[in-house]
Structure 1
Amino acid sequence: MSTEARNETDQYMNNLPRESKSEIRHHLHGHESISYGRPYFAILLAAFSSLGGYFFGYDQGVTGGVVVMSSFKNDFCVGVYGDERTCDLPIAGLPAGYRRFLVLFTLLYNVGCFLGSVFICSFVAEKFGRRSIIFTSAVLFLTGTSMVIFPPGGSKNIMILILIGRVVEGAGVGCSSFSCPLYASEIAPTNLRGMLSGFMQMTVVIGLFGANVVNLLLQSHKWGWRLSNGIILIAPITIIVGIFFCPETPRWLFQNKGRKAAEESLKRIRKTDNVTAELDAIADTVKEMGNEMPIKEFFTTKKVLERLGIGIGVHVLSQTTGINPIFVYGGIIYQSVLGNGILSLLILSGTVLLCTIPALFLFDRLGRRNLLMFGGIAMVGGHFVSATIFVSNCQVKRKLINDSAIIQEIVDCSGSSGTLMLVFTAIFVASFAISWGPISWIYAAEIFPLNVRSRAVSITTGSNWLTGIILSYILELIAPLGIHGIFYLFGSLTVLAVIFVYLFCPETKGILLEDIEETFDTFQLQNRTIIRILRQSFQRSNKTNM
């Protein structure tokens, strides 16, 4: 922050009415009187910044399909870990080295996402601005994807380079998953914040669906997996060029460049000169919160830690619903169940896309909290029914391959059982698309005060990817738990997610970012209906025993 800008901000703050420390409170900024001008430019900016979500979703979608492509197996399995026959076996029969490579291909990507979101995002976003971290995410993804698709296959040494590329690629996705909702939440009018912050999820699912369409078209091409991965490079190149035409967020500018710079940016975004009320609300928050909170104070302030716990909880539980393993390893699972993994993934990704479109209009109508709870309940049903269908109607037959020590598992589902499993998995992903998918990113980007927001969002985003690293090993659990066990596991974890939201997450719909502090202050755990009933029952029980 320049000395001149800091002096300008400090001078403005000195002219505001002062409160003693004991009198400092969270203001209701009267945002009903704020004029947001014409929203079309803010919508355009949110849509452009959400392109980072496109390569986020595309990479996840493309990975689930390419790992079952012959071109991928020919580059990384045939002649490296086995022959064509052994490289085409179901999961349990694949060569151990190749199966380990598949795990690392996903795991190291998630490691990169974690490193990018925790160790790169916060520093760049605070020091250089929200636009800079969007630019950084695109450069990292472009570099990492190039390292993955251009080297030849057939060599373990080259495979090491490709795995390093997956880390760099993941760092770009980690940065984009941090920067897109943060940028959108700070430029959006209050009444559109849920929708604009949810644009990233829209581009994620468009990328997911697009990847599966491309996989289906290129699955038999000799360069199929490379072409599928390469097409996405259009998105980061577009961001690298276009970000220079986007304004910085007024909230970051106010804190780092002063009120005048923030005012100019806000006028440009709102397409009106009447921005004084909104600037005053930002100023009040900067005054109350001060400059960026020191790292030691960050980890010792009770309210920050409580909010951090909620943000991390939402992100971790979003991952443990099983959505990423469904798309990353769903091709392998439904290849066993239905005999066509790529088509199954296309159906699932199409379901997500169709359901995300109406979801954009529900965030600011039905609210974040309601969608998380009721969407979560529907997700539980999808998982449990899929698992029960598999247990009731599918058999897993094991046999030795050519009298070798390799056991081949053949899944035999009677009648339409496999199709029904896919239907209820589609119900799960549809429910995720209108609830946990977009809202976990929206909610965690809007619940923190300005002076800790970038660091806190960085940590919560990192927790998402750290959970993704752990879930990368889910491929190794399919054999001991069975396909039905995986679905039961994720269904049970989703039950915990619904309970968590009920107990700890207040509604933030329609509340100015600067007013969210008061919302959390008035949301008390002891006021939840179930907690009151349990407390009253416990008190009655104690009186009876006395």
Structure 2
Amino acid sequence: METTGVDPESAMVPLLGNERKDKGVVIGREGKHRETYSVVAAILPFFFPALGGFLYGYDIGATSGATISIQSVTSSGTTWYDLSSIEIGLQVSGSLYGALIGSVLAYTVSDFLGRRRELIIGALLYLIGALLTAFAPNFPVMVIGRFIYGIGIGLSMHAAPLYIAETGPTQIRGRLISLKEFFIVFGMLSGYITGSVFVDIVGGWRYIYGSSAILSLIMIVGMWWLPASPRWLLLCALQGQGSMHDARESAISCYCNLRGKTADNSSATEEIDIIIDELSYAGQHRQGSFKEVFQGKSLKALKIGAGLVFFQQITGQPSVLYYAATILQSAGFSAASDATRVSILLGLFKLIMTGIAVLAVDRLGRRPLLLGGVSGITLSLFLLASYYTLLKDAALVAVIALLLYVGSYQLSFGPIGWLMISEIFPLRLRGRGMSISVFINFATNALVTFAFSPIETLIGTGALFGVFGLVAILSLIFIFFIVPETKGLSLEEIESKIL
């Protein structure tokens, strides 16, 4: 059995049947080319963009501890600790609404800036927001800092999966983008741990929020050092923004930097020429308009991507986690008396399940994980509905349902939602289609979080989880009939064969 010629530092990638290797590009029996790549060389082009996801997750985890700290009479360290419910809402959700603005900005600036520069700006906003929040002399300045940090989230969560998708080797693209979700969960866990460490220290919330500034600075330096996306460079030239000859040479140079020692100039040139041919054939010469995002191939991609992130949130993900501490306390777990310990416990479990998804996504494919995971989500939601209506003394049922929900979500919607929206859109409209999907993700999250309490009061907890269960069934139908399998296909092959 042949291998792709990956250097000794990298993983051995097995070939199938009649595959052959030609000038550094592997040709499969179905005619699909497979790139040679070094795992070591792929680490940094993934790591620095993925820090944007880590810092998003960190904010989610850190805010729980910071909220406790800032309201404490003894450890707040401020004279304005007595916050109203509206002020607490602004402090907690300020970054979320900033992320909504960031995703709107991404629609207009992403194709002009490119993925790399958008990530640099996102990291800079992370840094400014973290420092402004940490050193805030009063409440309004802290909210402004939270809002600026949130704009960084919106830009980074838009550009990071795009950069990873467009620069990562086809064979491990799914694994890399899913690993970004692992970084989000790891960031969340790190935020919970940091919160538990500083929550009882005077002014601890300043240290909790300020800690993210260090990683923001590392992300700025790392993204400044990384090359631009070769596909974005070629797209700009195809659309008349500069010389195609110069763009081709720059793309070859960037490709060599991204692939490491396995990519000599000959193989890099051939790979870039393949991309140029496929982009030219796919008709990428015109800049995409707002109207075109809702037409043809892009409309089909938008239905797939926006539908996934919509169901990702509308199946109750924020709400189930909201009830986590209550469920564990009802089961008699002593650790549940401490909210930070419960958060750490769930964070560890989410991290483990996300790791399993990362290992499985390029082996099993996107659809099997989505169908299996969302089936688990559906079952868990109906179990929770039964617990709150019929089985109130069976706390173990609720614990099992909670863990089943969290595990199933991290195997399916968690990583694969972000993966699919980063690879499904045509290149010419990818930045804009992605920004609409990211906006829908954050907007739906905000809507579910805001509407949960009023609807719960109106119809009851059990009925609400039952409604979420019915929505999960609809999402299963959507996945079965609408969502395609993209495993093993290059971004250009996805556009030509699926859309």
Separation of aligned partners in 1, 2:329 and 2:125: 33
- Judge conservation of contact 2:53–2:183 (CA < 8 Å) in 1: yes
Q: CA deviation at 1:144?
A: 1.9
Query: What percent of counterpart residues are identical?
Result: 29
- 2:271 corresponds to 1:278: yes
Task: Tell whether the 8 Å contact from 1:34 to 1:278 is kept in structure 2 after alignment.
Answer: no
Larger-gyration structure (1/2): 1
Letter in 2 for 1:41: A
Relative to structure 1, the CA distance from residue 145 to residue 391 in structure 2 (aligned partners, 3 Å threshold; closer, same or farther) is farther
Equivalent residues in 2 for 1:177-192, closer than 5 Å:
177-192=157-172
Whether the aligned pair in 1 keeps the contact of 2:179 and 2:355 (CA below 8 Å) is no
1:64/1:330 contact within 8 Å kept: no
Cα separation, 1, equivalents of 2:257 and 2:100 = 34
Question: Could you give the per-residue CA deviations for residues 333-391 of structure 1, whole angstroms, max 9, x where no partner exists?
Answer: 86788543322222211110111112111111111111111100101222222332233
Aligned counterpart for 2:103 among listed residues 104, 109, 117: 117
Q: What is the count of residue pairs matched by the alignment?
A: 452
Deviation digits for residues 230-256 of structure 1 (CA, Å, limit 9, x no counterpart): 222222111111212111111012223
Q: Indicate how the Cα distance of structure 1 residues 187 and 217 shifts in structure 2: closer, same or farther if over 3 A, else same.
A: same
SS of equivalent residue, structure 2 residue 188: helix
Name the structure 1 match of 2:404.
427
Matches within 5 A, 1:279-428: 279-287=272-280, 288-299=282-293, 301-327=295-321, 330=324, 338-392=336-390, 394=392, 417=395, 420-428=397-405
Specify whether residues 61 and 54 from structure 1 end up closer, same or farther in structure 2 by C-alpha distance, changes over 3 A only.
Answer: same
Counterpart of 2:385, as a letter, is A
Contact 1:368 1:439 in 2 (8 A): yes
Shift of the alpha carbon at 1:463? 1.0
Q: Note if 1:231 corresponds to 2:211.
A: yes
> 1:492 maps to which residue?
470
SS at match of 1:198: helix
**Change in 2 beyond 3 A, CA 1:79/1:240:** closer
Shift of 1:466: 1.2
Question: How far apart are residue 435 of structure 1 and its match?
Answer: 1.2
Letter in structure 2 aligned against 1:40: V
- For 2:55, the aligned partner's letter is F
Partners of 2:294 and 2:44 lie apart in 1 by 39
1:520 CA displacement: 2.2
The CA distance in 2 between the partners of 1:223 and 1:486, in whole Å, is 38
Q: Distance in 1 between matches of 2:378 and 2:279?
A: 42
C-alpha displacement of 1:188: 1.1
Stretch of structure 1 that moved more, 450-459 or 333-342: 333-342
Q: Compare relative contact order (CA 8 Å, sep 6+) and give the higher one, 1 or 2.
A: 1
2:152 to 156, 168, 172: 172
Displacement of 1:485: 4.2
- The alpha-carbon distance between structure 1 residues 437 and 315, as it changes in their structure 2 partners (threshold 3 A), is same
**Residues 80 and 139 of structure 2 are in contact (CA less than 8 Å); yes or no, is this contact kept in structure 1?**
no
Residue 506 of structure 1 aligns with which residue?
484
1:41: which partner in 2?
A: 41
Provide, for residues 156-191 of structure 1, a one-character-per-residue CA deviation record: whole Å limited to 9, x for no partner.
xx3333223222111111111111111110011111
- 2:210 is matched by which residue type in structure 1? G
Cα deviations by residue, 1:429-471 (Å, 9 ceiling, x for unpaired): 1111111101111101101111111111111111111112212
The residue number in structure 2 matching 1:63 is 63
Q: Which runs of 5+ in 1 are unaligned?
A: 1-27, 83-96, 153-157, 395-413, 522-546
The residue that corresponds to 1:140 in the other structure is: 125
Out of 197, 204, 212, the residue aligned to residue 217 of structure 1 is: 197
C-alpha displacement at 1:41, in angstroms? 1.0
* Separation in 2, partners of 1:182, 1:47: 14
What SS does the corresponding residue of 2:474 show, helix, strand or coil?
A: helix
Which residue of structure 1 aligns with residue 8 of structure 2?
A: none
Corresponding residue number in structure 1 for 2:244: none
Query: 2:151 & 2:158 partners in 1: Cα distance?
Result: 11
The alignment's TM-score, normalised by the length of structure 1, stands at 0.76
* SS of residue in 2 equivalent to 1:448: coil
Q: In structure 1, how many angstroms separate the alpha carbons of the residues matched to 2:458 and 2:435? A: 35
Change (3 A) 1:307 1:171: same
1:320–1:236 distance in 2 versus 1, CA, 3 Å: same
Q: Structure 2 matches for 1:25-104, cutoff 5 A?
A: 32-67=32-67, 69-74=68-73, 98-104=84-90
Contact preservation (8 Å) 2:57, 2:186: yes
Q: Which residue of 2 aligns with 1:267?
A: 256
User: In the aligned structure 1, how far is the partner of 2:156 from the partner of 2:328?
Assistant: 30
1:101 positional shift: 2.8
Of residues 69, 77, 91, the one that matches 1:105 is 91
2:423 pairs, out of 446, 454, 463, with: 446
Q: Decide whether aligned partners of structure 1 residues 335 and 145 sit closer, same or farther in structure 2, where only a CA change above 3 A counts.
A: farther
Displacement of 1:218: 2.8
Alignment partner, residue 241 of structure 1: 221
Task: Report the CA distance between 1:103 and its aligned residue.
Answer: 3.1
Q: Distance in 2 between matches of 1:335 and 1:480?
A: 24
- Identify which of 150, 171, 176 aligns with 1:196: 176
Superposed CA RMSD in Å reads 2.9
Counterpart residue type for residue 315 of structure 2: T
The residue type paired with residue 103 of structure 1 is G
**Distance of 2:150 and 2:460 partners within structure 1:** 29
The 2-side partners of 1:391 and 1:225 are apart by 39
> For the structure 1 residues 327 and 174, does the alpha-carbon distance in structure 2 shift closer, same or farther, using more than 3 Å as the test?
farther
- Residue 474 (structure 1) shift: 4.0
Name the structure 1 match of 2:16: none
Letter in 2 for 1:376: V
CA 35–133 in structure 1, closer or farther in 2 if over 3 Å, else same: same
- Normalising by structure 2, we get a TM-score of 0.83
1:278, CA displacement in angstroms? 2.1
Amino acid at match of 1:324: P
The offset of 1:299, in angstroms, is: 4.1
Deviation of residue 427 (structure 1)? Answer: 1.8
Instruction: Tell me which amino acid in the other structure corresponds to 2:258.
Output: I
CA distance, structure 2, for counterparts of residue 139 and residue 445 of structure 1: 23
The one-letter code matched in structure 1 to 2:487 is K
Does the 8 A contact of 2:111 with 2:431 survive in 1? yes
Q: Is the 8 A contact 2:293 2:432 kept in 1?
A: no
State how far apart, in whole Å, the 1-side matches of 2:378 and 2:35 are: 42
Are residues 324 and 133 of structure 1, via their aligned partners in 2, closer, same or farther at CA, if it must alter by over 3 Å?
farther
Question: Matched residues in 2 for 1:58 and 1:320: separation?
Answer: 23
Which stretch of the first structure deviates more once superposed, 178-187 or 272-281?
Answer: 272-281
Would the aligned equivalents of 2:95 and 2:150 in 1 still touch at CA under 8 Å? yes
- Structure 1 pair 334–124 and aligned structure 2 pair: CA distance change class (3 A): farther
In 2 relative to 1, CA 464–36 (structure 1 residues): closer, same or farther, beyond 3 Å?
Answer: same
In the alignment, the residues of structure 2 paired with residue 46 and residue 58 of structure 1 have an alpha-carbon distance, to the nearest angstrom, of: 18
How far apart, in 2, do the equivalents of 1:367 and 1:514 lie?
18
Pairwise CA distance, 1:506: 0.7
